[in-house]
Structure 1
Amino acid sequence: MNLKIIISILWLGSMFTFAQNQNELSSQIEKLNKIYAQSMIDNDTKTMMSLYTDDVVSLPSYQPMIRGIETLKSLSEQVENSEWKTTSFDMKTTDLIPAGNFVIEIGNYKMKMAGPGVPDWSDEGKYITVWQKQDDGGLKIKIEMWNTDLNPWLQMQQSEGEQK
C-alpha cells in the first residue's frame, strides 16, 4: 500500500474518533448540566455537590473566589435555606474543548428566581466550566466561572428613573 494512502486512512480514522468522542462528551455534559439545573430548582445541595471535585474552584459574579467542596457546600446550603428559590435554570453549551484529562465547556445560561418582595427576577449570562475526567470515566466540575450579561447598576438606575 502507498504511504500516502496509509497516512490518509489513519488521519480519517483519527478524525472520526475525535468526532465520536466530541459527541460522547457533549452528551455526557448535557446530561450533567440537566442534573445541575434540576438540583438548583429543587434546592438540592447534596446532588449539586456530587458534581464537583473536592478541590473545586468557583469564581462567581460579585463574590470572592471559593475554594474547596466544603466551602462551596456551606455557601450553597445558605442559599438552600434562604427565602430565595430558583424557579428555572437553563444552560446551553456553545463550545467544548477537550484538553487531556479536562474538558472545557463554554456556554450561556438563563435563569429565574423568586425571593422576598421579588416574585420574578430574571438573569442571563455566560459561563465556563472545566470538567475533570474521573477514574470511573465520569466528569466532575474542577473550575467554574460565570457572570451576568445584565448590568445591575443600569437596572438600578432605570428603576430609580421609573420611580420618579
Structure 2
Amino acid sequence: MNYGTNYYRTLFFLVGVTTLLFVSCKQDLKSISKVEMKMIAEKQNKLLEACFSDGDANKLANIYTDSAKLSPNGSHFVIGRDSIRAFWMEDFKTAKVLKMETNVLMVDGNEDVIYETGITVSEILYNDSVYRPRVKYINVWLKQPDGTYQLDVDFWNKDTQ
C-alpha cells in the first residue's frame, strides 16, 4: 500500500500529540498515607512543643521555612523566619510555656505538602498567673530537599469549645 507523505506526517503528528498529552497529564504527586502524614505532623509538633517549653526562639524559628507565614490570634501577619524569630523572642520575654499538648485532628496532602488541623492546649505562666489557653490551628508543612519538613503556614485562633 502506498500511503503517501501526508499520511506519515499526520501519523507522526498524532503520535507526537498523543505522547505529549500522555506525559503532560501523568500525575506525579508523591502520595503517602494519611497515617504517615499524621506521624510526620505529630513528630514536628513534638519539636514545636520542646521549643516552646524551652523558650528557645532561635531553635523554634528554624522549624519554619524562610518565607513562612505566621497568623497569631488577634494579631497581624508575621512573614519570614527572621520576623517570626523576633515575634517569639518578644513573646518569650513575658510568658513561659509550662506545658503544651497538641492533638492532630486531620491531615491531607502528599509527600511534598502536608496540611494539618488540630487543637493545642497549653499551660502558660504570665505575670505570676497560670493560663490554660486552647487554640485551634492550621499548619502547612513543606518537605525540604534534605527530606525534613518545615512549617510554612502557622495559623491559630482561640477555640471557643
TM-score band, normalised by shorter chain: 0.7 to 0.9
Q: Percent same amino acid at aligned positions?
A: 20
Instruction: Return the alpha-carbon distance in structure 2 between the equivalents of residues 138 and 149 of structure 1.
Output: 30
SS of the counterpart of 2:153? Answer: strand
| Aligned-residue offset at 1:116 | 1.3
Instruction: Return the alpha-carbon distance in structure 1 between the equivalents of residues 53 and 149 of structure 2.
Output: 21
| Aligned-residue offset at 1:46 | 1.9
Is 1:58 the counterpart of 2:73? The answer is no
Instruction: Return the alpha-carbon distance in structure 1 between the equivalents of residues 102 and 75 of structure 2.
Output: 21
Is 1:136 the counterpart of 2:146? The answer is yes
> Letter of the aligned partner of 2:107 in structure 1?
L
- 2:44 is aligned, of 32, 42, 48, to 32
Instruction: Return the alpha-carbon distance in structure 1 between the equivalents of residues 46 and 111 of structure 2.
Output: 24
| Aligned-residue offset at 1:99 | 4.5
**Is the contact between residue 62 and residue 81 of structure 2 (CA under 8 Å) also seen in structure 1?**
no
Is 1:110 the counterpart of 2:124? The answer is no
Aligned-pair Cα RMSD in Å: 1.9
- 2:132 is aligned, of 122, 134, 147, to 122
* Unmatched runs of 5 consecutive residues or more in structure 1: 1-16, 152-164
Q: After TM superposition, what 4+ stretches of structure 1 lie above 3 angstroms from structure 2?
A: none
* Unmatched runs of 5 consecutive residues or more in structure 2: 1-29
**Is the contact between residue 105 and residue 117 of structure 2 (CA under 8 Å) also seen in structure 1?**
yes
**Is the contact between residue 93 and residue 105 of structure 1 (CA under 8 Å) also seen in structure 2?**
yes
- 2:61 is aligned, of 34, 49, 56, to 49
Instruction: Return the alpha-carbon distance in structure 1 between the equivalents of residues 76 and 54 of structure 2.
Output: 25
Between the two proteins, the alignment pairs up a number of residues equal to 132
Instruction: Return the alpha-carbon distance in structure 1 between the equivalents of residues 56 and 147 of structure 2.
Output: 24
Task: Note the alpha carbon deviations across 1:70-104, whole angstroms, 9 max, x for none.
Answer: 11111111122x23111111111010111463110
**Is the contact between residue 123 and residue 133 of structure 2 (CA under 8 Å) also seen in structure 1?**
yes
Query: Which structure's relative contact order is higher, taking Cα pairs within 8 Å and 6+ residues apart?
Result: 2
Instruction: Return the alpha-carbon distance in structure 2 between the equivalents of residues 83 and 95 of structure 1.
Output: 32
> Letter of the aligned partner of 1:29 in structure 2?
A
Instruction: Return the alpha-carbon distance in structure 2 between the equivalents of residues 60 and 115 of structure 1.
Output: 17
SS of the counterpart of 2:133? Answer: strand
> Letter of the aligned partner of 1:21 in structure 2?
S
Larger radius of gyration: 2
- 1:146 is aligned, of 133, 148, 156, to 156
SS of the counterpart of 1:35? Answer: helix
